[in-house]
Amino acid sequence: MRFVDEFRDAELGQVVAGEILAKVEPGRHYKFMEVCGGHTHSIYKYGIDDLLPANVELVHGPGCPVCVIPMGRVDDGIALAHHENVIFTCFGDMMRVPGSNGSLLDAKAAGADVRMVYSPLDALRIAKQHPDREVVFFAIGFETTAPSTALTLKRARAEHVANFSCMCSHVTIVPPLRALLESPDLRLDGFIGPGHVSTIVGARPFEFIPSDYGKPVVIAGFEPLDVLHAISMILDQLADGRSEVENQYTRVVPYEGNLRALEIMAEVFELRPHFEWRGLGFISHSGLKLSDAYADLDAEWRFDVPGVRVADPKACQCGEVLKGVIKPWECKVFGTACTPERPIGTCMVSSEGACAAYYNFGRFAREREVV
Amino acid sequence: MTVLRVDLARGLALCSDKEGTKSSVETALIEPVSPGDALLVHAGTAIATLAADAR
């Protein structure tokens, strides 16, 4: 398929891997964070880790939409799903995220009307099919998904669908990155920037990383050659003593982002003063809620939502995994008590979660040859 | 996904993925679109048109 096959060329991959090997300084250890869960998935799926010299370490970042949702938020969703007359809709992987007392899937088994949708538009369609029921969409995701929710809310307003509302848990990528850069736990040499978030927000929001912290950023696509090429570009910046935001994913990411999407998001959403992230705690101005103009479509206004705050389970180390402080396999419950079939933490639920990606693809070939 | 048909009035396009599965996609963020365009679709919304002159 066009735009896909040419970026999965194994021979070209070996060539780029050779270039990377030639660019690294043998005595130096490089630590790059791939911000987005989509990159984490690709890295394990295609064995990109195994093509890299041993002194190039990839650290998994916080950009997995499902992974960062705190347990209390899941409990809130479940409470809403149990409201009489509510059809609660959400993306499939969100249904399996454990709350403090089971998941949305468990709530469905217990009688709540919880339905999986592929898009907010599907949820709106359900609302139109069931005018006598209240349909709530559990909106999660970064700036990549938020425009889709915004457009659906605008459509609901335009088409007078009064029984549709949204429990907004959208988050933004820059505040957690800044929090990570301020964290003393982590020393990073560069970032593989999130490709699809950048399609919406553009390259500009990441410029604080080179300007304030002196670290290179290369916005990258999700095919194996994209990721390898981005690593090679970061190494070039380090070798030249440069730190800037570069765009490897030019086939979809314009420097200024998608202005129409940004405009619609600004109309429909506003920043929450703070939002709780799983494992990262409360981060200021990192979450979105519906703006005053759309408050009538806000499920948290329409229904009584408990606003639960629950500590993460003690055994689960998703927070450390999300911050890149530990690798998935270093978590105490990885692959034993916590598996994709019976997840304890969010990172094991979503295909973009570092633990699930590693469990599904990477765990059989961890030992790499030291260069 | 590839655009098969465009419904201008509703701001939707019928698209097909590489397996041939068809779905309606919201196109408000990237209009105008034409049949044959390759779109990047996320959660039912096209967020970018893939540039033909890419790398």
Contact criterion met (CB < 8 Å) for B51 and A196:
no
Asked if A147 and B51 come within 8 Å (Cβ–Cβ), the reply is: no
Measure B20 CA to nearest chain A CA, in Å: 12
> Residue A185: is its pLDDT beyond 80?
no
Would you say A81 and A97 are in contact if contact means Cβ atoms under 8 Å apart?
no
Identify any residues that bridge with B6 across adjacent strands, giving them in sequence order.
B13
Has residue A261 got a pLDDT over 80? Answer: yes
User: What is the distance in angstroms between the Cα of A198 and the nearest Cα belonging to chain B?
Assistant: 10
Q: Before B32, cis peptide (omega within 30)?
A: yes
Check whether A311 has a pLDDT greater than 90.
no
Q: What is the pLDDT of residue A366?
A: 55
- B42–A121 C-beta distance less than 8 A: no
pLDDT band at B52 (very low <50, low <70, confident <90, very high): low
pLDDT confidence bin for A365, thresholds 50/70/90: low
Of residues A252, A261, A243, the one with CA closest to residue A223:
A252
**Residue B55 pLDDT:** 36
Please compute the mean of the pLDDT values over residues A318-334 and round it to a whole number: 87
**Mean pLDDT of the A258-280 span:** 95
Q: Which two tokens stand for residue A31?
A: 């630590």
Closest CA to A250 of A195, A206, A292, A294: A195
pTM: 0.91
Which residues touch A241 (CB under 8 Å, ≥6 apart)? none
Instruction: Find, in chain B, the residue whose alpha carbon is nearest to that of A122.
Output: B44
pLDDT in tens, B6-43: 999 989 999 999 889 999 999 999 999 999 999 999 99
Kindly write down the DSSP assignment for every residue of A66-99, as one continuous string.
TTTS-HHHHHHHHHHHTSTTEEEEE-GGGGG--B
Q: Spell out which residues of chain B touch residue A253, defining contact as CB-CB under 8 Å.
A: 48
Q: Which has more confidence, A292 or A351? A: A292
Cβ partners under 8 Å of residue A338, min gap 6 = A315, A316, A331, A344, A345, A348, A355
**Candidates A1, A148, A199; nearest CB to B48:** A199
List the single residue in B with minimal CA-CA distance to A250: B54
Predicted pLDDT at A178: 94
Picking from B12, B14, B16, B47 by the largest number of A CB atoms within 10 A of its own CB, the best residue to mutate is B47
The interface residues of chain B toward chain A in range 24-43, judged by CB-CB distance below 8 A, are 24, 26, 28-30, 38, 40, 42-43
Q: Which of B2, B22, B26, B27 to mutate to test the interface with A (most CBs of A within 10 A)?
A: B26
Q: Mean pLDDT, to the nearest integer, of A219-228?
A: 96
The conformational region for residue A138 under phi > 0 = left, psi -120 to 50 = alpha, else beta, is beta
Backbone angles phi, psi at B30, to 5 degrees: -130, 10
What pLDDT shows up at residue A364? Answer: 61
Residue B53 has pLDDT above 60, yes or no: no
ipTM of this model?
0.88
- Nearest neighbour of B44 by CB, restricted to A1, A120, A144: A120
Tens digits of residue pLDDT in A29-69: 999 999 999 999 999 899 998 899 999 999 988 888 898 89
Chain B residues whose beta carbon lies within 8 Å of the beta carbon of residue A141: 43
Considering only residues A10 and A2, tell me which one the structure prediction assigns the higher pLDDT. A10
Residue A16 has pLDDT above 50, yes or no: yes
The average pLDDT across A148-174 equals 97
Q: Is the pLDDT of residue A93 over 50?
A: yes
pLDDT at residue A367 is higher than 60: no
Q: CA gyration radius for chain B? A: 10
